[in-house]
Chains A and B, each alone.
Chain A
Amino acid sequence: MSDGFPPAPGGSFPTAGGFSSAVGGSSSVPTAGRSSTAGGFSSAPGGDPPAACLLDERALAAALEREGYFADEGLRTAVHLALRLGRPLLLEGEPGVGKTEVATVLSRVVGRELIRLQCFEGLDAGQALYEWDYPKQLLQVRVAESRGQEVGDLYREEFLLRRPLFRALEADRGAVLLIDEIDRADSEFEAFLLEFLGDFQITVPELGTIRARTPPVVVLTSNRTRELHDALKRRCLYHWIAFPEVDRERAILRAAVPGLEERAAEGLVRAVQRVRGLPLLKRPGIAESVEWARGATALAEGGSPWPVALRRALGLLIKDEEDTRLVAGHAEELFRDV
């Protein structure tokens, strides 16, 4: 180990501001977070590295769990690397596996403001970056006229409407920027976003260039309804969030549904896992199984026996008429150990 980097193919690494080289004889514990300055990581100059405790993976995992988010090792690594390398994190997965939730929880964990940009078809720079507040400018003109004053400069900051990307740059302590469902925006917007993610600065012709004081932590989510450009994927770390395995889903349910008993949770999770194995049009995500558990618990408290309550609340898990029929046809094997 040394302080230098291996020469990169076709380029060279920034020389790191002193990595902790793994001295320590036979300890195989990584030294992540042990006073390693992130000078070599932050892509933008002048960026504060996130708090040192967050660079430790275990601390990060514990913090996520405290917030009620149970992440598997892959997702933990992904979040850790995104903070560490200062790269955007692209999350893909079926709807309802908690992609958006990652950003929400992360903003609480790192103690930064969450700024969300919801994408849709036809989203343009004016809705994502900034716009001039024309009505306000017009009023200003009229007021100045009625008082007989000079109109003055109408392109000042007070006439600027800040949209999410702009606010993410201006946040004092940096922000967590969630760009939700990027696959819904059109590909031209993707190209524009690429530019923004490249150097975290915006040029407003009337005001000049505005650069991020602290580069935001960027999380992008996509439902794969559309292929993203390779150029965008190249910039991002990538993680596919799969449906959770039995133990993790049970932990999530226990945390999210207070009145749920251990045995009931066990049976319910097994039923959900089996339902996901069916050829459905829309497989239920974590959000649906949590809703189902909540609904069934409420019905059970109202006096229904548990298996009956589960079946009555099935509309919270399956939300398509054809799927409902399919599940009803397989009811025996699905609910055999509930």
Chain B
Amino acid sequence: MSEPTGHAEKPSSACEPAALTKKPSGDPEPAALTKEPSSAREPAALAAGHLWGFLTALRAAGVTTALPKQADLLRVVGASPPRDLTTLYWYARITLLHDIGELAAFDRVFTAWFRRGGLPDAVPPPPSGESDAPSPQGPGEDDPAPREVLPGDGVEASTLSTYGRRDFDAAGDRWRSVTRALEAAWPAVLPSAPSRRRRPARSGDRLDVRHIWRRAHRHDGEIVELRRRARPPRPRRLLILVDVSGSLRRHTPDLLRLAHTALRAAPARTEVFTFGTRLTRITSALSHPHTGRALRAVSELVTDADGGTAIGAALHEFLGVPRFVALARGALVIVISDGLERGDCVPMVRATARLSRLGHRLVWWSPLACSPTYRPVTRAMAAQLPHLDHLGGVRDLATGLAEVRRLPAVLSGPRRAAARRPHTPRPTRARS
């Protein structure tokens, strides 16, 4: 182990870890590093270059390493050169990594750069970005908007009857009353969190002493009444993710109407997305006060309706956009989907687990669960169940209303309770 002696007037070489010279044989670099000290500049530069290469490779592999963290690593390596590769590994892992989920990628890159000495396999960065721009309507688009039902129109059948049996067909009055009931029900069930700021209130946990004082000054220092301050409750956000894939085509219009009632009830705090093969944010399109026009606007925007299903990919797309993640944080998240994922269900389960961690509560509504004999036994749903707070059945507005009224119990109950409900037996997972 030969080590170049330090040259005080040589910049940019403090990050030369002595351990880098202890590479396994077969690596091109040790040859360069075991030169005589007179040409010490080269190995130092090589080692520094190697470390930079490693950091760059990490970025390319999709491991997020912030600049201050990289600076930390270089500072540590420069100040106390690691004894061996294990020490270097821990230095790098503790300073650079910030989520255990990225460990696998990190390990791969580290091994490639320091234990094998080869170049890492190029890992394509995860696709990010969003496609909110409306694209031209695809031929598969057939979500005609219902005719508006205005007060005084009398009984009006929906033009959506091509979707099979409709519960409110020829029953416009009943449908209207259900819609109204929904709009009344939503605000009452939305969870709230205490806001950060205290405001004067009739009853509160703190005395508003400043106020009391000012009053007391007028009465020559005598306190004649007490004022209080409290933290007023602030409604949490509501995030609705609606599945519009082909397996749900019968229910899609109704599910969108359900989302519309939520948006009308709490316009400032509600966000609605649809997903089929890709993710679309429809909050603004759906916010038109008229149901019919809102649905028309949505059908122009959503181009993947009645197509295939890629729930996992769509949810990952959602979680890949920091703005959207911020919408889910601390919110009541409602996913309306049958959970029938084609192919590998692992991405979907992972995304659900993360949504569950982000949100205040995660509720999953499935049209299939309306049937009393339904059991979440498909591999995907069984794996999801431990992450859900509640699994309910919603296929139209009436069942939606029943589920909305059930929300307060879910919100006050324990987290991740869907798996413990008495009526849903424990899913049979693969026993190892």
Contact = CB atoms under 8 A, between A and B. Distances in A.
Q: Is the interface of A mostly helix, strand, loop or mixed?
A: loop
Interface stretch (B85-93, B159-167, B240-248): B85-93
Given A28-B3, A145-B221, A240-B100, A5 B74 contact: yes
B86 A226 contact: no
B51 to A, nearest CB: 9
Contact of A32 (B15, B80, B426): B80
Interface stretch (B65-73, B286-294, B391-399, B404-412): B65-73
Contacts of B3: 22, 24-28
Contacts of B13: 1-2, 6
A21 interface: yes
Given A84-B76, A224-B357, A227-B358, A4 B12 contact: yes
B28 interface: no
B83 A239 contact: no
Contact of B223 (A9, A25, A132, A138): A138
Interface string B169-210: 000000000000000000000000110100000000011010
B12 A81 contact: no
Contacts of A236: 98
Interface stretch (A95-103, A248-256, A273-281, A292-300): A273-281
Given A6-B48, A22-B81, A278 B432 contact: yes
B357 A5 contact: no
Interface string A9-23: 111010010010111
A12 to B, nearest CB: 10
A90 B16 CA distance: 27
Nearest to A19: B79
Most chain-B CB neighbours within 10 Å: which of A1, A84, A277?
A1
Interface residues of B, number: 77
B354 A227 contact: yes
Contact of B80 (A30, A40, A137): A30
Please tell me the size bucket of the interface on A.
35 or more
A85 B83 contact: no
A225 interface: yes
Contacts, number: 185
B386 interface: yes
Contact of B94 (A24, A25, A81): A81
B406 to A, nearest CB: 23
A6 B74 contact: yes
Given A141-B221, A188-B196, A322-B426, A235 B68 contact: yes
B72 A5 contact: no
Given A28-B1, A32-B80, A237-B95, A13 B330 contact: no
B32 to A, nearest CB: 17
A111 interface: no
A313 B35 CA distance: 64
A267 to B, nearest CB: 21
Contacts of B221: 141, 145
B224 to A, nearest CB: 13
A161 B5 CA distance: 56
Interface in B404-432: 415, 419-420, 426, 429-432
Given A6-B13, A85-B75, A137-B209, A121 B193 contact: yes
B81 A237 contact: no
Given A2-B11, A22-B3, A81 B76 contact: yes
B99 A6 contact: no
Interface string B56-67: 000000001011
A122 interface: yes
Nearest to B7: A2
A45 to B, nearest CB: 17
Given A32-B80, A188-B196, A74 B11 contact: no
Nearest to B5: A23
20 contacts: A1-B14, A1-B16, A1-B44, A2-B11, A2-B14, A23-B5, A30-B18, A30-B81, A31-B81, A40-B79, A77-B87, A77-B91, A78-B90, A78-B94, A81-B95, A134-B206, A134-B209, A234-B66, A281-B419, A322-B426
